[in-house]
Amino acid sequence: MTHLQTQPRSMMQSTYKPLTGQKAIVTGANSGIGRGVAVALARAGAEVVVNWRDGEDRTRETLEEITAEGGRAIAIRADVSREEDVQRLFQETCARFGTVDILVNNAGLQRDAKFEDLTLEQWNTVIGVNLTGQFLCAREAIREFKRRGVVQSVSRAAGKIIHMSSVHEVIPWAGHVNYAASKGGVMMLMKSLAQEVAPARIRVNSISPGAIRTPINTAAWGTPEAYESLMRLVPYKRIGEPDDIARAAVWLASDDSDYVTGTSLYVDGGMTLYPEFASGG
Ligand code: BGC
């Protein structure tokens, strides 16, 4: 197994379409995990809004990947940390698709620094996108879910929110305090919101990825040495692929998980299992 290995395409095709008739917004959907999730939701039958902020070419590629498989997707540019952008994102989505059934709160970034060097701008950028952005998008989604209510022919729930968190919602991360703080915040945002809106038949969950092969962490897997060092933290001994996360997202978005709310699903190859205790302690 090398650091360059990718998921076999044959595993990715599916004729099971549990999201038929549903409309989804995936934020930060033109690269990495977001892109994998957008493609998988479309493959599962959803019409998808590919939200993006930077990278027009990558956005076009994502749309082409979806439409090449017969899926339906549109792109809407919006900065999730800006309230007016988020409101426009939802207004345009409802104008084009009629409503929203699924929000995947995926957009996220890192601005790493030693704590004493961490600037207020780096702090605010990470909290603004990773935490405030998830709040703003979730709030618009909840408003639309409550306005519409349950449509039985579409889904048993009035709406589903999937927060993209991280193993760092529970694993402290030196040198990445802003990022870990944002994901710790996402965990309690998700749980408190889930508790509040469950009576309205709205489900709110998180996916907490471990090390996934995406542009955000190239330094962690881009060379054989880095990959080998990363594997010391992964009991399952392989890096995750965006499709590992995408499959979990399809399940959490579908009625197959209708009784699941307020949970954080760790998709991490065992990274949260304290791997250093496998021997010793
Ligand atoms: C971070 C990655 C990191 C992974 C595991 C993710 O949330 O964005 O940079 O490789 O956690 O530590």
Model pLDDT, residue 280: 87
* Span of 11-25, 65-79, 123-137, 267-281 with lowest mean pLDDT: 11-25
Q: How far is the CA of 73 from the centre of ligand 1 (A)?
A: 28
Average pLDDT rounded to a whole number, residues 147-154: 98
State how far the Cα of 141 lies from the Cα of 58, in Å rounded to an integer. 25
Cβ–ligand 1 contact at 234 (below 6 Å): no
Residue 116 sits in a domain whose CATH number is 3.40.50.720
Model pLDDT, residue 14: 65
How many whole angstroms from its chain centre is CA 144? 20
**Do 186 and 169 contact (CB within 8 A), yes or no?**
yes
Tens digits of per-residue pLDDT, 26-51?
Answer: 999 999 999 999 999 999 999 999 99
Q: Known catalytic residues?
A: 179
Cβ–ligand 1 contact at 30 (below 6 Å): no
If you search the block for the tokens 């999201």, which residue do you land on? 19
What is the domain count for the chain? 1
Model pLDDT, residue 13: 58
3-state SS track over 219-257: HHHCCHHHHHHHHCCCCCCCCECHHHHHHHHHHHHCHHH
Name the pLDDT band for 15 (thresholds 50, 70, 90).
Answer: confident
Q: How far is the CA of 168 from the centre of ligand 1 (A)?
A: 7
Tens digits of per-residue pLDDT, 62-104?
Answer: 999 999 999 999 999 999 999 999 999 999 999 999 999 999 9
Domain of residue 179, residue span:
3-277
**Do 269 and 244 contact (CB within 8 A), yes or no?**
no
